[in-house]
Structure 1
Amino acid sequence: MAMNHLRSLKGIVNVKEAIGIVGRRTFSAGGSKAKKGSKGGAAGDAAKASTLSKEVKSTTVVGANILKDGADPKVLPDSEYPDWLWHLIDKKPPLSELRRKNVETLPYEDLKRFVKLDNRARIKENNSIKAKN
């Protein structure tokens, strides 16, 4: 149906412009501009966040509640969390460093990362070569 409208508009506007108009997302009348004193919005949330005491901030995970009637979860001791959680922030070697190492001596996780990053780099290089031609 949209294509029929585009064909009728072909003589008037550019097709790319028409697709941009058809595919554009719109919002309700009051959705994008918040009025002062209106309910909801970032300004009201900021005021609530600043009134929390330091004790509450250090014992609960503020803002982690996703349930309407629930409460923010309490912070547990480190021993209560799984071991893999603490390794999420570890730095992983970049592709250039992995290329300098001997592939046969790499651990499985590093080898898997090397293959993934090397494939991604080759795809980007091939795409840039094709774009130039």
Structure 2
Amino acid sequence: MLRRFPISQSVRLLSSSRIAFQQAKTGSEKVISSCPAGTVLNLQIKKSGKEPVALEDHEYPEWLWSVLDEDAQLKMLQKDPLKLRRKQLRTSNRQKIKQNNFLSEI
């Protein structure tokens, strides 16, 4: 079941997430999560499982905070040329498939 937030609250959540991401990108401050510790995340997958709850920021692994940073991901890929090449092949294959699908509709 989707939980609907009032517009003012959802805008506040988005703006705080954007600010946290920009601060992480500039490296001026340590990244903070947009969910305070103890917040129910509404990500329950199994019927018998419990709802996951947000943890303190220091309880998450360090790599999690650099997942959305494109520069950090590029540095990681440059360390392993095989992964970089696989990613390049995947993107080029997707582009070819999209182009072929578009041309087949004409």
Considering Cα pairs closer than 8 Å and 6+ residues apart, tell me whether 1 or 2 has the greater RCO. Answer: 2
**Structure 1-normalised TM-score?**
0.34
For the pair shown, which has the larger CA radius of gyration, 1 or 2?
1
Higher helix share: 2
